[in-house]
Amino acid sequence: MVYGLSALMVILTGSIRFFYLEKGYAYYLDNYLFVTKLILVLTVGLLSIYPTIIFIKWRKELEEKSQISLDHKLYSNLKRIIRIEVFIVALVPLLAAMAARGDRLHRGN
């Protein structure tokens, strides 16, 4: 739940900044690094759906049975997805810093 609320806050503050503050959405959409960052953030959001569903199922199973049945293949898949998410999330601040560097990163220049 904390992770979901944090993601919601990031989306809200980012949207306010994108549409109403700073340089405006036209500036950001013209910056290929910003667009790449946005695509990566959306990718992490989509990738997190599957593990979230599994974790919710596990929580319900723990409440009912006090234990969960752990399938090795499922565990390996979850671990792989989470590692990919962590790698992508690590790239996002780098792209954000690079995108903020200025006009020379725009497609037209």
Dump the DSSP string for 37-102: HHHHHHHHHHHTHHHHHHHHHHHHHHHHHSS----HHHHHHHHHHHHHHHHHHHHHHHHHHHHTT-
Q: Kindly state the percentage of the chain with pLDDT values over 90.
A: 29
Residue 98 scores a pLDDT above 80: yes
pLDDT at 29: 79
pLDDT tens profile 59-80: 898 888 888 878 899 999 999 9
pLDDT tens profile 22-40: 777 777 778 888 888 889 9
Lowest mean pLDDT of 25-34, 53-62, 85-94, name the range. Answer: 25-34
The residue-averaged pLDDT of 30-52 equals 89
Q: Please tell me the distance from the alpha carbon of residue 74 to that of residue 57, in angstroms, as a whole number.
A: 13
**Residue scoring higher pLDDT (53 or 18):** 53
User: DSSP readout, 24-49?
Assistant: -HHHHHTBHHHHHHHHHHHHHHHHTH
Half-sphere exposure of 32 (CA within 13 A, CB side): 6
Asked if residues 79 and 4 have their Cβ atoms less than 8 Å apart, the reply is no
pLDDT at 108: 52
Single pTM value for the model: 0.73
Beta bridge partners of 31: 106
Mean pLDDT (the chain) is: 83
